[in-house]
Amino acid sequence: MSSTESHCDRRRYPADHLHQAGTMQSTRTPDPARRKAALAHLVASIAVVGGILAVPRFLWYPGALWPLSGIDRHLLLLFAAVLAVGPALTWLVYRSSKRTLRMDLAVVVLVQLLFLGYATAMLARLRPVYLVGMASHMELVRALDIDPADLALAPEERQRLPWTGPVLVGALPPGGAALFGNDDHARRPVYYFDYSKIGPALAQRGQPADGNGGADARMVPLISQAGRAGIRLDARDGRPLQAVPVDK
């Protein structure tokens, strides 16, 4: 094609050339609203996920109780994926000129909420529900550790597992003896009774506690299905004072 014919084509179809030039320019220029939307989604995700994870760290398992939680890196990685998937998808789908932008963002939020719901449900199963005094130790029982069939046999007031922290109870097998770490009566609410009936005797079986508490505190083992620690008890009534880490 000669230069004369090309010049004639440009004059004949000026709108086509302008449309192509505008398209090329729009692909080269980044959309500032896209970055803002992804950043806003990231900040919101950090706030939500951080708030959820603060519950087990500071309410359910503060201090030395954390190793007894069973919350491992796989679950934390799942929450990290929840944190990342929403902002990443927002970055991919966001275009200011998109007609279906609202629908796309709604789908992104729905996907993230599904991931978040699954991760939160797994986390809820690891919450501590009972702190059980046994013959020579204490056991921290999580919701996951209690069989639904055993829960159905418990008194009505114990069939609803707590959410704000473990309830202090006592438990002994029918024979009155329990093997340390090998007895499941701590995880069977039908055997629970008021902690005051076993607390003083449990404290007397403990070792003198060093450090905080002095002569007024006794140390007994504290176990769960996920780990172990120690716990200081008041020497008079066996009231739990403080969980302490143990050397592995």
pLDDT tens per residue across span 169-222:
999 877 655 555 556 889 999 999 999 999 999 999 999 886 554 568 999 999
pLDDT at 248 (0 to 100) = 55
pLDDT at 42 (0 to 100) = 95
Q: How confident is the model at residue 17 (pLDDT cuts 50, 70, 90)?
A: very low
Q: How confident is the model at residue 31 (pLDDT cuts 50, 70, 90)?
A: confident
Whether 41 has a pLDDT exceeding 90, the answer reads yes
pLDDT at 26 (0 to 100) = 45
The residue with greater pLDDT, 2 or 76, is: 76
The residue with greater pLDDT, 67 or 18, is: 67
Least confident of 141-150, 159-168, 178-187, 224-233: 178-187
Whether 231 has a pLDDT exceeding 70, the answer reads yes
pLDDT tens per residue across span 83-133:
999 999 999 999 988 899 999 999 999 999 999 999 999 999 999 999 999
Whether 18 has a pLDDT exceeding 50, the answer reads no
pLDDT at 116 (0 to 100) = 96
Residue 86 and residue 109 in contact, taking contact as beta carbons nearer than 8 Å: yes
pLDDT at 244 (0 to 100) = 93
Whether 56 has a pLDDT exceeding 60, the answer reads yes
pLDDT at 209 (0 to 100) = 81
- Average pLDDT, rounded, for the chain: 85
Q: How confident is the model at residue 32 (pLDDT cuts 50, 70, 90)?
A: confident
Distance of alpha carbon 80 from alpha carbon 87, whole angstroms: 12
Q: How confident is the model at residue 24 (pLDDT cuts 50, 70, 90)?
A: very low
pLDDT tens per residue across span 130-157:
999 998 999 999 999 999 999 999 999 8
Whether 55 has a pLDDT exceeding 60, the answer reads yes
Residue 51's closest CA among 78, 79, 74, 75? Answer: 79
